[in-house]
Structure 1
Amino acid sequence: MGRRIPLWQIFMVLAFMVALLMYTIVVVDGYIHIALVISGAFAAIVAIANGYKWSYLEKGIINNITNSMQALLILLTVGMLIGTWIAGGIIQTMIYYGLMILNPNIFLVATVLICCVVSLSTGSAWTTAGTVGIALIGIGTALDISLPMTAGAIISGAYFGDKMSPLSDSTNLAAAMAGANLFDHVKHMVYTVVPSLTISLIIFGILSMGHSSSNVDMSDVTILMNGLKDNFYISPILLLPPLFVILMVVFKIPAMPGLFAGALLGVLFAVVFQGGNLGELIGIVMYDGYVSKTGIEFLDELLTRGGLSSMFYSSVLVLCAMVIGGVLDASDMLKTICEKLLRFSKSTGSLVLIVLATCISCNIIAADQYVAIVLPGRMFKQEFEDRRLKNKNLSRCLEDAGTVTSALVPWTTCGAYMSSTLGVATIAYLPYSFLNLLNPFISMFYGFTGITMEKMTEEEYQAILKQRELDAALAAVE
């Protein structure tokens, strides 16, 4: 153990990390993985200069990675599930029936709902915006509806699914960083995201009034729906696997075996309903994902995804983030920052406010959604536990601010992607991204009122204390 690291040195480490991340994202337009590792190395140098031994810091990194292993395994399982669900026509069926609700008379409302369905099906806001979102932008233009309004509706719906889908990597990551069960986390987010979605739909409904639909061009949607029906077997029976996932949540089946069972169901449905080859499904699709060959460009782009390998980027990013997170944790840098911030936290509401503000600040400063989930998750996990607040309260806060605000900052990876994909400046669609704007405030409301902020039982709290004692004993032995 070394001496307490001065606050100015901690800020130097954070400033170095932010500068390197910004340079990598804005100047080089590269991957942030190595920037995180180099930042971890710089943090380790500062810690060693203050008396910490490398062997001690290394144990902190390994412990951090160990704590993230469940999330990594779930991420990899989700990759397999996405691939087999596309091969089985399951995701196509969900998208097809989602497009059927499109009604030009309430275009903005329908846009939100369609994007909700597609993003829930795929677990990706990016895929939703880059495929169905582009088609909806074209329809909105034909309807003479403001492009920023249309983009805001697309992003609101896309991030609903990105936040609520068990297939989403950010959803899995937030649950893991807070130490929450994945399905407990998803269910707990209903309290914040459903009011956000409801209010957003009402506002979009009001904005849609007075728009004429007489000259709307539905050709893109027609092509998409025909492409789905012509190339895949579409039937309500293919909604059984998603229903299985819902029942899995209800009956509290552990996430990883339940999701893997869902992936195997996808294999079965692919063989029975889509004429898939069993050997190819197990040997290729579950690893490399599904490759769509319909000949319709934007449909193939939507459906070519999934597989174990599709989660390598996110999984390796988590490992790299755990390097600097482990050093910051082992050297008590995170503890020092938390102590300073928590001086302003006299209640549950102020604690939630600090977490939300930290997540948003990470998006603005570090310019990456994953960093905005990982760092605050590591920083505030123990404080939530000490106040006997269930871990799912923290995981919900991480998503309520870290996930949804990432698309509202022009220089984040999410903001840049949405702006370039939809052809609308971030600052233009920001005022209309109602779900993303409302979510942090609704989360803050629950924090200050105490509504839905569930407390641990005495048994749960004692189990956490015992686990901490065990971890400390293991660290001492090593």
Structure 2
Amino acid sequence: MTHPKTTIEVLPDADARPLPSFGQAAVCFAGILLLIGGGLFMFQISLHALIFLVLVWAGLHTYALGYSFTAIRSMMDEGIIRALPAIYIFMLIGMVIASFMQSGTIASLLYAGLNWLDPALFLATGFILCSLMSVATGTSWGTVGTIGVVLIGIGDTMGVSLPLVAGMIVSGATFGDKLSPVSDTTNLAAMSAGTNLYRHIGSMLYTTLPTFILVLVIFFLWGQQYGNHPLPQAQLIEIRNALAGAYQMNSAITLSPLLVMLGMSMKRYSAESSMTCSILLAMLIAVLYQDRNPVEVINALWQNTPGHTGIAHIDELLGRGGLYSMAWTLLLSIMALALGGMLHHAGFLQVLLRRLIASINRTSTLIAATITSGLAGNLVMGEAYISIILNCQLFKQTYREKDLDPAVLSRSVEEGSTLTTGLIPWTTAGVFYAATLGVPTLDYAAYALLNVLNPLVSIIMAMLGIGLLRSRHSSRQ
């Protein structure tokens, strides 16, 4: 496919490339939003298929500027190539989760956590348990679908307000989904913003830890009114006995893969190295300590199999993980990164943001705009993944001009996208949480305190000049 006279075979310098008009950029983005939003909500079309159609739509607009097919493909390649290190981590995440299931690491966390429950501390303890589970597994959905189901049943038996319990569960589940090094959204945000995974996590700690402590205190105070309510001991004993029957529970052994990964991460080993070591150790524990079949353990790295406790929702959790489980997110990420590369290099983002950027003078306004844009993306597209990628592309240059570290961008994008997706009834997360917990999204949203307060804390801290990491290339660093 060629375009006579104006065809550009290679990517030109930024100053030489043909730029779209504001109207063309607006039409291009409006079409993207309509395709994704309409396809998802009106026709329930697969998100991957929609991204393919969006790539075609954006490609036609780029071709109309005078770029050849070769140049357009180079733009897409560039978007993917820059994210290759994070793509490798994506593949390792699935194997980490599967190996932790096989070694009994996750089962041990659940077994110990259920023993911590106390009526007066139910909300605070449940919040901590969900946070630990989501950090260990990297999934808010898996946390809600397992320990969340257990906690909602306990809360119902105790007479605790179910919207309050559901909000507590979603808060804890989102904590790990936002911070865990094995979370897909954590890696996706770091990858899309162009920052190191642990730099991204370290940046989020500035705003997330104070929010976590604040939310924990609130749940503790709320929980005091339930001090005289009984716990469903029979249900808890059944789950713990089932776990003990399926796994050896020496925590010094079963938790060692998690400790190795965290320890290596703290010592600044690469994410790939720490994950690989924890996978190999977990496999050894699964074979030598849990007496698993070596072939089954190795195959689990591709696709894990359900657990054998006899309790359906627990077995479902213990069957998570494997490379195959990451395929949906990984393929979507690759396609979206290709889209981002095209939109960036063809100048659509630059033209569309020119007026917005001109009106942003303060760093706190920039961060507030990023968080609000993430929320808007979730409202329109119903998915945090696309919102994360697009907003990183939209604001990356502005953060660079403000001399802010890319980790501040990735943090702000997560606080606008990852944290708010579970508060919206028509997003995939909102639908899943409501269906799994039996509580409508709008009923629990006000009690999902971490999700609600963390973006506000981030904006307030930006206004106070706290946690605004400067670029490592800056002379002010």
Q: TM-score, normalised by structure 2?
A: 0.92
Among 177, 181, 190, the alignment partner of 2:196 is 181
Among 239, 249, 255, the alignment partner of 2:265 is 249
Among 186, 196, 210, the alignment partner of 1:195 is 210
Alignment of 1:364 with 2:369, yes or no, is: no
Q: Deviations over 1:367-386 (max 9, x none)?
A: 11101211111222232223
Aligned to 1:294: 309
Higher helix share: 1
Among 34, 37, 50, the alignment partner of 1:35 is 50
Structure 1 Cα separation of the partners of residues 105 and 70 of structure 2: 49
Q: Deviations over 1:317-374 (max 9, x none)?
A: 1012123212211210111223222112212212211211111111111111101211
Aligned to 1:381: 396
Structure 2 Cα separation of the partners of residues 57 and 218 of structure 1: 62
Kept after mapping to 2: 8 A contact 1:99/1:225: yes
1:215-254 equivalences under 5 Å are 215-237=230-252, 238-254=254-270
**Alpha carbons of structure 1 residues 295 and 28: separation in structure 2 relative to 1, 3 Å:** farther
Alignment of 1:115 with 2:136, yes or no, is: no
Alignment of 1:160 with 2:186, yes or no, is: no
Among 250, 260, 274, the alignment partner of 1:258 is 274
Alignment of 1:434 with 2:434, yes or no, is: no
Give SS of 1:294's match: coil
Q: Deviations over 1:431-477 (max 9, x none)?
A: 11100001111111222222121113447999xxxxxxxxxxxxxxx
- Structure 1 residue 410: Cα displacement: 0.9
Aligned to 2:87: 72
Kept after mapping to 1: 8 A contact 2:306/2:317: no
Aligned to 2:72: 57
Q: Deviations over 1:226-263 (max 9, x none)?
A: 21111101122122222112211221111112211111
Kept after mapping to 2: 8 A contact 1:152/1:432: yes
Kept after mapping to 1: 8 A contact 2:119/2:230: no
Give SS of 2:302's match: helix
Among 117, 137, 159, the alignment partner of 1:102 is 117
Which letter does structure 1 place at the counterpart of 2:332?
L
Kept after mapping to 2: 8 A contact 1:84/1:290: no
**Alpha carbons of structure 1 residues 457 and 216: separation in structure 2 relative to 1, 3 Å:** closer
Structure 2: 5+ residue runs without aligned partners?
A: 1-7, 9-16
1:285-434 equivalences under 5 Å are 285-434=300-449
Kept after mapping to 2: 8 A contact 1:290/1:307: no
Kept after mapping to 2: 8 A contact 1:241/1:266: yes
Structure 2 Cα separation of the partners of residues 131 and 269 of structure 1: 24
Kept after mapping to 2: 8 A contact 1:88/1:267: yes
**Alpha carbons of structure 1 residues 192 and 422: separation in structure 2 relative to 1, 3 Å:** same
- Structure 1 residue 11: Cα displacement: 2.3
Give SS of 1:37's match: helix
Alignment of 1:20 with 2:32, yes or no, is: no
- Structure 1 residue 152: Cα displacement: 0.3
Give SS of 2:83's match: helix
Kept after mapping to 2: 8 A contact 1:86/1:290: no
Q: Which moved more, 1:4-13 or 1:128-137?
A: 4-13
Kept after mapping to 1: 8 A contact 2:403/2:474: no
Aligned to 1:204: 219
Kept after mapping to 1: 8 A contact 2:118/2:231: no
Structure 2 Cα separation of the partners of residues 380 and 227 of structure 1: 49
Structure 2 Cα separation of the partners of residues 434 and 423 of structure 1: 19
Give the number of equivalent residue pairs. 461
Which letter does structure 2 place at the counterpart of 1:273?
Y
- Structure 1 residue 388: Cα displacement: 2.4
Cα RMSD (Å): 1.9
- Structure 1 residue 224: Cα displacement: 1.9
Aligned to 1:474: none
Structure 2 Cα separation of the partners of residues 140 and 98 of structure 1: 16
Structure 1 Cα separation of the partners of residues 243 and 228 of structure 2: 25
Among 452, 461, 464, the alignment partner of 1:446 is 461
Q: Deviations over 1:13-71 (max 9, x none)?
A: 22222222223322333420111121121111122223333322211101001112211
**Alpha carbons of structure 1 residues 219 and 12: separation in structure 2 relative to 1, 3 Å:** farther
**Alpha carbons of structure 1 residues 89 and 460: separation in structure 2 relative to 1, 3 Å:** farther
Which letter does structure 2 place at the counterpart of 1:259?
M
Which letter does structure 1 place at the counterpart of 2:264?
M
Structure 1 Cα separation of the partners of residues 407 and 374 of structure 2: 16
Give SS of 1:287's match: coil
Structure 1 Cα separation of the partners of residues 260 and 165 of structure 2: 33
**Alpha carbons of structure 1 residues 214 and 350: separation in structure 2 relative to 1, 3 Å:** closer
Aligned to 2:4: none
- Structure 1 residue 187: Cα displacement: 2.2
Aligned to 2:14: none
Q: Which moved more, 1:122-131 or 1:336-345?
A: 336-345
Kept after mapping to 2: 8 A contact 1:227/1:299: no
Kept after mapping to 1: 8 A contact 2:83/2:192: yes
Kept after mapping to 2: 8 A contact 1:415/1:426: yes
**Alpha carbons of structure 1 residues 310 and 460: separation in structure 2 relative to 1, 3 Å:** farther
Structure 1 Cα separation of the partners of residues 471 and 210 of structure 2: 25
Q: Which moved more, 1:71-80 or 1:96-105?
A: 96-105
Give SS of 1:17's match: helix
Structure 1: 5+ residue runs without aligned partners?
A: 463-478
